[in-house]
Chain A
Amino acid sequence: MTVKAIHYLNQFFGGIGGEEKSGLKPALLQGSRGPGKLLERLFPDLEIVTTIVAGDNYLAQNTETAVKEILSVLTPCFEKEAAEMPQLFLAGPGFNAGRYGLACGAVCKAVQEHFDCLVLTSMFPDNPAVQEYRRDILIGLAGEDVTSMEESLRRMWGLATKLLQGKAILPDEDHYIPQGRRQNFFHSRTGAQRAVSMLLKKIAGEPYKTEYEMPVFDRVAPAPAIPDMSRVKLALVTSGGIVPRGNPDRIAAANAQKFGIYSLKGLLTLTPETHQTAHGGYDPTFAMEDPNRVLPLDMIRELEAEGDIGCLHELYYATVGNATSVANARNFGKAIAQELLAAGVQAVLLTST
Chain B
Amino acid sequence: MVKEIERAGLPVVHACSIVTISKTVGANRIVPTIAIPHPFGDPDLEKQKEIQLRKELVKKALRALMSPIEEQTVF
Residue of B nearest to A337 (CB): B8
Residue A81 CB within 8 A of the other chain: no
Q: Give which listed residue, A220, A224, A287, contacts B7 with CB less than 8 A.
A: A220
Residue of A nearest to B71 (CB): A222
Residue A268 CB within 8 A of the other chain: no
Q: Give which listed residue, B3, B10, B67, contacts A225 with CB less than 8 A.
A: B67
A352 and B17 in contact (CB under 8 A), knowing A341-B8, A347-B65? Answer: yes
A223 and B6 in contact (CB under 8 A), knowing A229-B62, A287-B38, A293-B38? Answer: yes
B7 near A337 (CB under 8 angstroms)?
Answer: yes
- CB contacts under 8 Å to A, within B1-47, are 1-18, 22, 24-26, 28-29, 33, 36-41, 43
Residue of B nearest to A353 (CB): B36
Q: Give which listed residue, A300, A337, A349, contacts B4 with CB less than 8 A.
A: A337
* Interface stretch (choices A20-28, A96-104, A327-335): A327-335
* Interface stretch (choices A85-93, A243-251, A301-309): A301-309
Instruction: Give complex CA distance A302, B55 in Å.
Output: 8
Residue A217 CB within 8 A of the other chain: yes
B29 near A222 (CB under 8 angstroms)?
Answer: yes
Rounded to whole Å, the gap between the CB of A253 and the closest CB of chain B is: 14
- CB contacts under 8 Å to A, within B36-75, are 36-41, 43, 51, 54-55, 57-59, 61-62, 65-73
B15 / chain A contacts, CB cutoff of 8 Å: 349-352
B62 near A308 (CB under 8 angstroms)?
Answer: yes
Instruction: Give complex CA distance A303, B59 in Å.
Output: 8
Rounded to whole Å, the gap between the CB of A136 and the closest CB of chain B is: 21
A338 near B1 (CB under 8 angstroms)?
Answer: no
A299 / chain B contacts, CB cutoff of 8 Å: 40, 51, 54-55, 57-58
Give A contacts to B, CB under 8 Å. 214, 217-229, 237, 239-240, 282-287, 289-290, 292-296, 298-300, 302-303, 308-309, 319, 321, 329-330, 332-334, 336-338, 340-341, 345-353
